[in-house]
Amino acid sequence: MIKAVIFDLDDTLISERKYIESGYKHIACLLSAQGIGTQDNVYNMLLNLFQESSINVFNRLFESLNISYTASDIRNLVNEYRNHFPTINFFDDVVPCLNELKRKGFKLGIITDGYASSQKAKLNSLSASTYFNEIIVTDELGREYWKPHQKPFEMIREKLQIEYEEMIYIGDNPEKDFYISNIYPIKTIRINRKGVYQNREYMDGIREHYSIKNLESFLILLDKDIIV
């Protein structure tokens, strides 16, 4: 019997793309205030550079503008990006789903990778603690405990006082979100939001048990007792 539903955060509950856009708007505002282009132009340049490649976007921005820079300049921008308070929202289907799950008596949790400062800023912007019983930011445990490591799943099982077979994990990234079912008897669901990581390869070929396009579909699976 399922007693808890655990979610990934990025591209499961929120749009990673929207977070990136929020960060680039913050950086564009800072650089514009320093006399480096207009805010709109810098923002659009950052988006275009990211579209080409997500690697070294800030370095490539300075190079595109023929502006010399130091490693310290890049570190400062990266820190500003990671620590900014983002303008983001849950996907439209999230809060109705969470409310329905709570009404049915399910315990709710989040396990999320990513730099701790960034993930905590996202969670605070969303007031996530008002919806979830437990939230684990894996970076606070150490980079080596990011998914697919089993430790965050062990921790949330203990915190929620449930068994592994009583847990569902919903994520989006084939590279790391579903391998846990090869370690513990956790049911996994892939939600396809067409996000940043949708084209990653499955780790060791371990696939999800169920696939959905939205959380309305997940509630239907629950109501029909399809998830066993």
Domain that holds residue 162: 4-15+88-223
Q: Residue 118 maps to which CATH number?
A: 3.40.50.1000
- As a whole-number percent, the residues of the chain with pLDDT over 90 amount to 93
Q: Does residue 200 sit in the same domain as residue 100?
A: yes
Residue type (1 letter), 169: Y
pTM, to two decimals: 0.93
- My answer on whether 103 and 149 are in the same domain is yes
Tell me the per-residue pLDDT of 51-77, one tens digit each, with 9 for 90 and over. Answer: 999 999 999 999 999 999 999 999 999
State pLDDT tens for residues 218-228. Answer: 999 998 877 76
* Structural domain includes residue 168: yes
Segment 8-30, tens digit of pLDDT: 999 999 999 999 999 999 999 99
pLDDT tens-digit readout, 170-203:
999 999 999 999 999 999 999 999 888 778 899 9
Task: Assess whether 199 and 103 both reside in one domain.
Answer: yes
Same domain, 77 and 38: yes
Do 76 and 107 sit in the same domain of this protein? Answer: no
Provide the domain count of the chain. Answer: 2
Pairing of strands 4-7, 107-112: parallel
Where a domain ends, among 83, 110, 128?
83
Question: Does 10 share its domain with 35?
Answer: no
Give 93-115 pLDDT, tens digit per residue: 999 999 999 999 999 999 999 99
45 in any annotated domain: yes
